[in-house]
């Protein structure tokens, strides 16, 4: 098993730091990647990061992870509430994964309350800001044999 974790950030997360800072804060995607890399390194893992606004690109990266990753940390953004295909990719590769959301999706619009990943994620971290990524890494690495 590889000592690598795939970090997946979905649509619009490239806008972190400028998009709705009252909801998502002012940390950028680079800040998230650095925070996640540091948390993974502390547990003996490296991070490979991808962000895309295109569902197929994310699915391709997830499928490729089965070759050289031990786990996945994913913030699927809006795809959380819409993508059966993303769920199928994650369950199809049989790697443990953590679902992360910066905001508390349950305190927002009703359509955000449903996640296609919630019943298959090994770890869920919701509403902890960008620090939730580091928490997800710590909790996920504790589960990897």
**Which residues fall in the annotated binding site for substrate?**
75, 81, 88, 102-103, 112
| Residue 90 contacts residue 8 (beta carbons within 8 Å) | no
Give whole-number Cα distances, 88 to 40, 70, 83, 121, in Å. 25, 18, 9, 12
For the CA atoms of 18, 19, 25, 31, the dihedral, rounded to the nearest 10 degrees, stands at: -60
Residues 6+ apart with CB under 8 A from 13: 29, 32, 51, 75, 77
Q: Which helix (H) or strand (E) holds 138?
A: helix 131-143
Task: Please tell me the distance from the alpha carbon of residue 143 to that of residue 83, in angstroms, as a whole number.
Answer: 26
What are the binding residues? 75, 81, 88, 102-103, 112
Task: Please tell me the distance from the alpha carbon of residue 122 to that of residue 125, in angstroms, as a whole number.
Answer: 10
Active site residue: 24, 45, 116, 133, which one? 24
Whether 113 is catalytic is no
Kindly list the catalytic residues: 24, 101
């Amino acid at each position: 098993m590889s000592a690598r974790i795939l970090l997946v950030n979905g649509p619009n997360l490239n806008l972190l730091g400028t998009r709705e800072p009252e909801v998502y804060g002012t940390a950028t995607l680079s800040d998230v990647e650095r925070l996640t890399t540091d948390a993974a390194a502390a547990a003996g893992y490296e991070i490979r990061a991808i962000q895309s606004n295109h569902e197929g690109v994310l699915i391709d990266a997830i499928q490729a992870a089965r070759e050289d990753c031990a786990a996945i940390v994913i913030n699927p953004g809006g795809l959380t509430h819409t993508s059966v295909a993303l769920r199928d990719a994650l369950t199809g590769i049989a790697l443990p994964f953590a679902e992360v959301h910066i905001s508390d999706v349950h305190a927002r619009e009703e359509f955000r309350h449903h996640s296609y990943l919630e019943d298959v994620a090994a770890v869920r971290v919701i509403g902890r800001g960008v620090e939730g990524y580091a928490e997800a890494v710590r909790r996920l690495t504790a589960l990897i044999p």
